[in-house]
Chains A and B, each alone.
Chain A
Amino acid sequence: MSATRAPAPPTRSAAANRLRAGRPVPTLLRHLAVAAGAGLLVLAISYQLDSFRNFQLATVAAYLCATAGLTILTGLCGQLSLGHGALMATGAYTLALCQNAFADRGVTAGGVLVLSLGAAVLATVAVGALVGVAAARLRGPYLAGLTLAVAVVVPALTVTFDGVFNGEQGLAVPMAPAPASLGVYFPYERWQLWVVTVATLLCLVVLANLVRSRYGRAFRAVRDDEVAARLAGIHVARTQVIAFVVSAASAGLGGALLAVLAQSVSPGAFGLTLSLFLLMAVVIGGLGRLAGAVWGAVLLVALPDLTHTVTDLFTLSPAAAQRLEGNLPLAIFGCTLIVVMIAAPGGVQGLVSRLAGALPARWRRHRP
């Protein structure tokens, strides 16, 4: 991440803006505190949920990296990407290759995962920079077309170079077991949740700081009006490339975490559908706020599950069941998308903010 200088120290004015009363609380500290709180919450929850829910929560966390990255790019900087699934694939495959390389050399300690994750992020930064430089020249549907091609090409490369990537079948990802100190019967899914949560929270802290930094302001300026941004001395193309690289790095981390969870990677998991679903998730979650990315990630995991449960409520004849099985969840998902976009174009987060808007507003009025 150093290439992007992402965790830039907050400027004085940014901190001052946030200042309500008393000593200034640096943004970084504030975000770290929130992250620590969220981490503790997840820790508590992980003991309350069964293994499958732990795994689902971990999947949400992994997707969250990708949706948060996409929110930065599309919501903050105004660039459309239909290719984030491919960036996730880049991270996932890098992690798989690293873990396999370590395992082949007999290094199986759990700690090497940190190195592999770092390598995954670096590799995606490189790919993201390449695509980002091209993307900075393009607008609207042309950018969509290019990123769409990226989304199709990257998974296909695993078949072209199947000597390295093992084609459609993909690679296994050797993972160290949970530390022995946790006990023999410690559920592996809980351990997975912990690992993924730590990585995701770190990623979110970095992104949240970036949003509040001068880079974040530059992103928004470029999104709102390129000409004005240029007049204000912002290098538009460079800003867009930085946004793309940051976004790619988070997507790569998300992909790598998915590989950690699945203990395998294969191109079918990172197809065009994933890229489109990521975009749907962030838009439905609510573009422009990292909180929207959280909703998006939750939706990605929960909605298929939820619609499946709804389908199971009906008891049908075998013939009708065969027709509806699988199709009904899709129909419900499709309708939800359309209705949400028409009724609440701000997404879930927009809806939540609007609903919750009344209370804090009244509450703030009582302040001096």
Chain B
Amino acid sequence: MRPMARRGLAIATTLTLLASSVACGSDDGPGSGQPVPGVTDTEIVVGTHMPLTGPASAGYSKIAPATKAYFDYVNANGGVHGRKITYKIMDDGYNPANTQQVVRQLVLQDKVFAILNGLGTPTHTGVLDFLHSNRVPDLFVASGSRSWDQPERYPNTFGFNPDYTVEGKILAHHVQTDLPGRKVCFLGQDDDFGRDSLVGVEKVLGADAVVDRQTYVTSNTNVAPQIGAFKAAGCEVVILATVPGFTALAVGTAARLGFKPQWLVSNVGADHPTLSRQLGDAAGLLEGMIGVNYLPMQNDTADPWIQLFTKVNKEHNGDAPFDGNTVYGMAVGYLFVQVLLAAGQDLTRESLVEAVRKGGYQGPSVAPLRFSATDHSGYGGGRLSRVSGGVQGYFGPTYETDEEDGPVNEYSAPPVAPPANGVPSA
């Protein structure tokens, strides 16, 4: 056979194949009788994307297993409306390109009902449009960015963490009331985290009150120049919008430069067990550090929520080391079960989103959830914690505020206790 003839035959074959395949391919539209993706009478399939490997995975890799453990606990207690929750955890290594792949796999191939607690601002931002156009509920994004609160543009996306501006305002409020007249400085990550936090600080204290502002990039682990500048400027209070690794670096670097300011740390970077594990013998430097949090302290064994979560961790999570990330993951799971219950027996994507919009959920957190038809941001406040005698504990009242110019108010609603069997009921 001549090459041309061979090629001609190949093309002819292809055309035949094409004709037949187009004929039998069908574009099935979602008819009214179509089942809801990811939901059967016995199962609800939910997915998430998390960094389980890579440099960003430290700490975060424990969140999704904790959530899954809570779901397993709920499943062992009969599930939600008779349905068991299956949680598909996909590793994206905090790389937005991987997030694109794994989220599409979850939605298009695994046909998950919803995406829950996808972690990271740069990673999750990239899939917002995709999730929106596929009408997938996108609940409780694990980041304090304000991007998740855009009900007009992304009606199915909801946040979870208090946003960084709210945190910044609460920390600055503490400076204003308890540390007046001190020289305040600010170290932030060079992205929306640091920027939004600084906005919050300046809203309360005024732009002139911050004596020195420094940023760091995660690709450079030497923060001595920044800390040296603080020392030279005579800072007495340093507010940190840093991830845990850089909180530890900043504190450690300051100590070796003989610089001892009052540290105020945003929620993301203030988990004491994480920090002291990293500092090792130098953990004593964290003494007096003030942080902000909105979930029960992992070391508060008297707290009924911590008792519940410790039990779940023991029974369903292989008794993994218990820290703030575990509490966070389980709190996400609890809220999701609450929302599923509220969405009712006839679970659809619409009824789920409607249930979140209705709001009014109370769970482990000390702070109020803000969900409403017009507000898709998560928790709207927090409480300050202090490390004292090597133990991180809450002090003072819980505060609530908004990300705009609203005042920082005390929030006085009493915390609720978990239900007796640890599973919310309708």
A touches B (Cβ under 8 A)? yes
Chain A facing B: main interface SS: helix
Query: Do B104 and A52 touch across chains, with their CB atoms under 8 A apart?
Result: yes
Complex formed: what's the CA distance from A159 to B4 in Å?
54
Whether A52 and B108, one on each chain, are in contact in the complex, defined by CB atoms closer than 8 angstroms, is yes
What is the minimal beta-carbon distance from A256 to any residue of chain B, in angstroms? 14
A-B contacts at CB below 8 angstroms, number: 162
Instruction: Say which size band chain B's interface belongs to.
Output: 35 or more
CA distance A34 to B18 in the complex (A): 16
Find A319's partner among B24, B29, B130, B320 (CB 8 Å cutoff): B320
Closest to B129 in A: A263
Closest to B53 in A: A326
Q: A25-B4, A268-B96, A322-B318 are in contact. Are A56 and B147 (CB under 8 A)?
A: no
Minimum distance in angstroms from A227 CB to a CB of chain B:
37
Nearest to A270 among chain B residues (CB) is B97
Question: Is B301 on the interface with A (CB-CB < 8 A)?
Answer: no
Is A156's CB under 8 angstroms from B101's CB?
Answer: no
A329 and B102 CA atoms in complex are apart in Å by: 14
Q: From residue A67, how far is it (CB to closest CB) to chain B in Å?
A: 15
Complex contacts, A34 vs chain B, CB 8 Å: 7
- Restricting to B99-128, which residues have a CB under 8 Å from any CB of A? 100-101, 104-105, 108-109, 121-123, 125-128
Q: Which of B21-56 contact A (CB under 8 A)?
A: 21-22, 24-25, 27-30, 52-53
A48, B3: Cα distance in complex, Å: 29
Chain B residues with Cβ below 8 Å from A325 are 52, 61, 89, 91
* Residue B133, interface by CB 8 Å: yes
Q: Is residue A304 contacting chain B, with contact meaning CB distance below 8 A?
A: yes
Stretch at the interface among B9-17, B163-171, B378-386: B9-17
Contact: B109 with A318, CB < 8 Å?
no
| A50 with B109: CB separation less than 8 A | yes
A36-44, A114-122, A140-148, A282-290: which one contacts chain B?
A36-44
CB contacts (< 8 Å) of A45 on chain B: these are 21
| Least CB distance, B289 to chain A, in whole angstroms | 26
- What distance in Å separates the Cβ of B292 from its nearest Cβ neighbour in chain A? 23
Q: Which residues of A contact B (CB under 8 A)?
A: 20-22, 25, 33-34, 36-37, 40-41, 43-45, 47-48, 50-53, 55-56, 59, 152, 156, 159, 162, 167-170, 172, 183-189, 258, 261-264, 266-271, 273-274, 301, 304-305, 308, 317-322, 325-327, 329-330
30 A–B contacts, CB within 8 A, in A order: A20-B3, A22-B4, A25-B3, A40-B14, A44-B21, A44-B22, A47-B24, A52-B105, A53-B109, A56-B101, A159-B191, A168-B121, A169-B125, A261-B100, A262-B96, A264-B125, A264-B128, A271-B95, A304-B98, A304-B101, A305-B105, A318-B316, A318-B320, A319-B319, A319-B320, A322-B62, A322-B65, A322-B320, A325-B61, A326-B61
Residues of chain B touching chain A, judged by Cβ–Cβ distance below 8 Å, are 2-4, 7, 10-11, 14-15, 17-18, 21-22, 24-25, 27-30, 52-53, 57, 61-62, 65, 68-69, 89, 91, 93-98, 100-101, 104-105, 108-109, 121-123, 125-130, 133, 145, 147, 190-192, 217, 219, 316-320
